[in-house]
Structure 1
Amino acid sequence: MQPLHIKDLVRLLRTNAGDSDTFDLDGDVLDVPFDELNYDSLALLQVTGAIERDYDVALDEEALEEAQTPRQYLEVVNQVLASSPAA
């Protein structure tokens, strides 16, 4: 299965939780903590649900809770996607 990229994550964040009030999401936000981007756990839970639906995968919510930045979040998601059969 194709990996999720930062542009995909930004699209999902915007769709499910709105634009960041503090950062331009089209800039370099890979290592900016989600709390600095003004995305809380509820916003990330909505994004996680969208990924699970769109990609037909089950994500490790505990591992995703540990992800503090978009880079860390993408690493967890892409590990699952890499081990999933192609749809």
Structure 2
Amino acid sequence: MTALVLQRLTELMAECGDRDPSSEVALDDSIGEVPFEDLGFDSLSLFNMCLQIESTYSVQLALDDVLAAETPNGLIELVNENLSRSA
């Protein structure tokens, strides 16, 4: 499976539809180090997004690890580490 990159993650984030509509931060390639909370994602929306990632990338992600990632770049690193372990 191809590694997860920021562009694909932002697409998945937009597809989830669970984002707080009051968030004013655009989901673009500049969000790598922006905390998920600032992007309008709470733990439930992260959980839903991770279900999509798990399905798309055939990986298993512990919710505690996802929450600890805190930023899109952290989540990308987590997913790609799991991909390399399962390869």
What is the TM-score with the length of structure 2 in the denominator? 0.85
Query: Runs (4+) of structure 1 moved beyond 4 Å?
Result: none
CA-to-partner distance for each residue in 1:36-82, whole Å, 9 max, x for gaps? Answer: 11111111101100111112221122211111111111111110012
Letter in 1 for 2:15: T
Letter in 2 for 1:11: E
For 2:86, the equivalent position in structure 1 comes to 84
Secondary structure of the 2:7 match is: helix
Q: Structure 2 stretches of 5 or more lacking a match?
A: none
Shift of 1:35: 0.7
Secondary structure of the 1:58 match is: coil
Shift of 1:6: 0.6
Number of residues of Structure 1 aligned to a counterpart in Structure 2:
85
Q: Which has the higher contact order (CA 8 A, sep 6+)?
A: 1
Q: Say whether 1:72 aligns with 2:46.
A: no
Q: Say whether 1:16 aligns with 2:21.
A: no
Contact 1:2 / 1:82 at 8 angstroms: preserved in 2?
A: no
For 2:62, the equivalent position in structure 1 comes to 60
Q: Structure 1 stretches of 5 or more lacking a match?
A: none
Q: Which has the higher helix share?
A: 2
